[in-house]
Amino acid sequence: MYLSMAEKKLVLEAIFEAIDDINETLAPGRKISKDPQAFLYGPQGAIDSLTLTLLIVAIEQKIEQKLHASISLVDQTTASQDNAFHNIKTLQGHIERLIDQ
């Protein structure tokens, strides 16, 4: 199964809505950028591991609501591949692959 353009748009909307939810709890200088190329997590990342965990949970919930798909963003594969959370673009690709499975 391949995701349609509309479904891909919903994935990005889910990510952005989750970021909005998390940003409400962060100090002004710590907000997560919604730029697809902005670093999320890692050496140059904008967020710490706790914020990443909160973001992951929020994204999984938004994907469930918007696409009626139950996914787990963290598994054995992602544990060895930090690049899935490198930026919004890589995160979106990771989510799309999980939904396609």
Domains of the chain from N-terminus onward: 5-25+36-100 (1.10.1200)
Stronger pLDDT, 2 or 80, i.e. the higher one: 2
- Residue 79, pLDDT > 60, answer no
What's the pLDDT score for residue 1? 60
pLDDT digits (tens, 9 = 90+) for 29-69: 889 999 999 889 888 888 898 999 999 999 999 999 999 99
Task: Assess contact for 58 and 21: CB atoms under 8 A.
Answer: yes
pLDDT at 90: 92
Mean pLDDT rounded to a whole number for the chain: 89
Reduce the secondary structure of 42-82 to three states and give it as a string: CCCCCCCHHHHHHHHHHHHHHHHHHHCCCCCCCCHHHHHCH
The pTM assigned to this predicted structure is 0.89
Which is more confidently placed, 76 or 45? 45
pLDDT band for position 77 (50/70/90)? low
